[in-house]
Amino acid sequence: MSLPVAKDPMARRRSSATSTCSSSSYTDTSSDDEGVSPREKVQKSSKGFTDFCVKNIGQASFGRREIEIAEQEMPGIIALRKRAEADKPLERAKIVGCTHINAQTAVLIETLVALGASVRWAPCNIYSTQNEVAAALAEVGIPVFAWKGETEDDFWWCIDRCVQADGWQPNMILDDGGDATHLMLKKYPATFNLIKGIVEESVTGVHRLYQLAKAGKLSVPAMNVNDSVTKTKFDNLYSCRESILDALKRSTDVMFGGKQALVCGYGEVGKGCCSALKGMGSVVYVTEIDPICALQACMDGFRVVKMNEVIRNVDILVTATGNKNVVTREHMDKLKNGCIVCNMGHSNTEIDVQSLRSPELNWEKVRSQVDHVIWPDGKRIVLLAEGRLVNLSCSSIPSFVVSITAATQALALIELFNASPGRYKSDVYLLPKKMDEYVASLHLPTFDAHLTELTDEQAKYMGLNKAGPFKPNYYRY
């Protein structure tokens, strides 16, 4: 489904304010320095570096281990680092970064540095920073301004510290949500106009860039990496195929075999959810608005129904539409006792959770991210993550998936930074297909996969360059 856009730029940051129910998160549980803000503390790395602001520089070694573990599952970005390290294709690039800060993005950040870039980094979300990772980055001399639990004011202060600094004239932006772009455009328009390019990853940020371009306010080239084929398939189909099982199991220990599940939406996310649940022996129904996707669901062996045909029978209800109020109070009134309800699709809009916050219903928190909502007759539904994205809240995202996104981001930065003048106008571009193919090729060794090469004769017959691109732009994969 084409995902819609949150109107409020802060919504994205708040909506993914998730204390995950994953067992694998390394949360720091240290006593809290008595609530002193990091901004008020004097901070210094073991080597005397001070141009950063994190929660606790002392956690650097824990963070370093996390980064090293992530590197193991991020073969593509590491391969890119090795291949391009000698060339230093980002030499003289000065990048303002604004993304989540965790072990996986740290691998990207350190790759950019290895490729020659100078960077300054802030978080794109007030809750998602892994403090020990931020510490590890600071410890090796990377200017990072980030901690978990920032205030709104802290948030903008951190970005500001990345844009403005002594002797620092940024020329690239790597953004995830558009906030660094927004701040620079509003507050430092002169600096903004000297930027060589913006790389934006998120649905929200890309939407804002297209709006800026349409309004004639985008004065620099931007690359939309959100819609690259490799990133899209992995973020949606393949990643969700795994995370739907993980999220449901970790939070509820439900047995999938024989259960009846309803998946709303048969886009890439829905396809991944359906495939996984069917593989585990669930009976899966689909709702769709688009007849083409509906026909695909049929051919893949799923009954396409209207919600009310099966709503009384299902054990698991998953939304994956990108739309709002797909599951209404009226639907939930009909659910049977014990039904699990969760959102895999978009933001927190798909399930009308608000309708459940009414006096006649009791909420009982049974675990982190798991609420029982109890009807007057005793019926309970099991609501996960209060209707927010359950794959973000209750499962982990494989580093391999992040590696693909990170490699795409790095390549987009290289492309924009090194493009000959005039190659890119002040507009929003998709990554050239050849680079999509290159990202994919970086990840094949993980699977010990071996590509076949075209012979000269075959390339000629097909009208292709032996090095690609191998498909027309409209190819659907």
Annotated binding site for NAD(+): 267-272, 288, 391
Nearest residue to 163 via CA among 141, 178, 181: 181
Segment near a second copy (CB under 8 A), from 130-138, 164-172, 292-300, 407-415? 292-300
Cα 109 to Cα 50: distance, rounded to the nearest angstrom: 18
CB of residue 220 vs a second copy: minimum separation in angstroms? Answer: 23
Rounded least distance, CB 455 to a second copy, Å? 8
Q: Is 300 in the site for a second copy (CB under 8 A)?
A: yes
472-476: long-range contacts (C-beta < 8 A, 24 or more apart)? 473/433
Of 317-376, binders to a second copy (CB under 8 A) are 322-326, 337-338, 349, 366-368
Selected from 30, 279, 333, 418, the binder of a second copy by CB under 8 A is 279
Q: Is the dihedral of CA 175, 181, 182, 184 positive or negative?
A: positive
| Contacts with a second copy, 24-53, as mask; x by CB under 8 A | x-----------------------------
Identify the DSSP state of 331: H
Cβ-contact 302, 272 below 8 angstroms: no
Map the footprint of a second copy across residues 177-196, applying CB under 8 A.
none
- Within residues 61-120, the interface with a second copy by CB under 8 A covers 65, 69, 72-73
Positive or negative torsion for Cα 55, 59, 64, 70: negative
Q: Is 230 in the site for a second copy (CB under 8 A)?
A: yes
- Select 181 or 251, whichever has its Cβ closest to a second copy: 251
Nearest distance from residue 274's CB to a second copy, in Å? 12
Q: Select from 354, 371, 351, 349 the least CA-distant residue to 362.
A: 371
Least separation in angstroms between CB 180 and a second copy:
26
d(CA 15, CA 163): 25
Q: Give the shortest CB-137-to-a second copy separation in angstroms.
A: 20
Q: Which of 191, 211, 260, 355 binds a second copy (CB under 8 A)?
A: 260
Q: Which stretch binds a second copy (CB under 8 A): 39-47, 140-148, 191-199, 229-237?
A: 229-237
Contact flag: residue 462 with a second copy (CB under 8 A) = yes
Among 43, 313, 355, 426, binds a second copy (CB under 8 A): 313
Sign, CA torsion 211/213/215/219: positive
Binding residues: 267-272, 288, 391
Give yes or no for residue 297 binding a second copy (CB under 8 A): yes
Residue with smaller CB distance to a second copy, 118 or 275: 275
As beta bridge partners, residue 222 has 198, 428
Torsion-angle region of 445 (φ positive above 0: left; ψ -120 to 50: alpha; else: beta): alpha
Q: For a second copy, which residue of 14, 187, 249, 334 counts as binding (CB under 8 A)?
A: 249
445 touching a second copy, by CB under 8 A: no
Does residue number 379 form part of the binding site for a second copy (CB under 8 A)? no
Q: Which of residues 394-413 bind a second copy (CB under 8 A)?
A: 395-396, 398-401
- Minimum CB separation of residue 296 from a second copy in Å reads 7
> To the nearest whole angstrom, how small is the minimum distance from the Cβ of residue 7 to a second copy?
10
When the beta carbons of 125 and 349 are compared against a second copy, the nearer one is 349
What is the rounded CA–CA span in Å between residue 344 and residue 47? Answer: 44
Residue 241 sits in the site that holds a second copy (CB under 8 A)? yes
Quote the CA–CA distance of 311 and 305 in Å, as a whole number.
Answer: 10
Omega cis (within 30) before 38: no
The length of the chain, given as a count of residues: 477
Q: Which amino acid is at 88?
A: K
Work out the number of other CB atoms within 10 angstroms of the CB of residue 430.
16
- Whichever of 194 and 295 has its CB closer to a second copy, that residue is 295
Structure tokens at 204: 């929200």
What DSSP designation does 263 have?
Answer: E
Sign of CA dihedral 356, 315, 386, 348: negative
Structural element, H or E, at residue 302:
none
Least Cβ distance, residue 462 to a second copy (angstroms) = 5
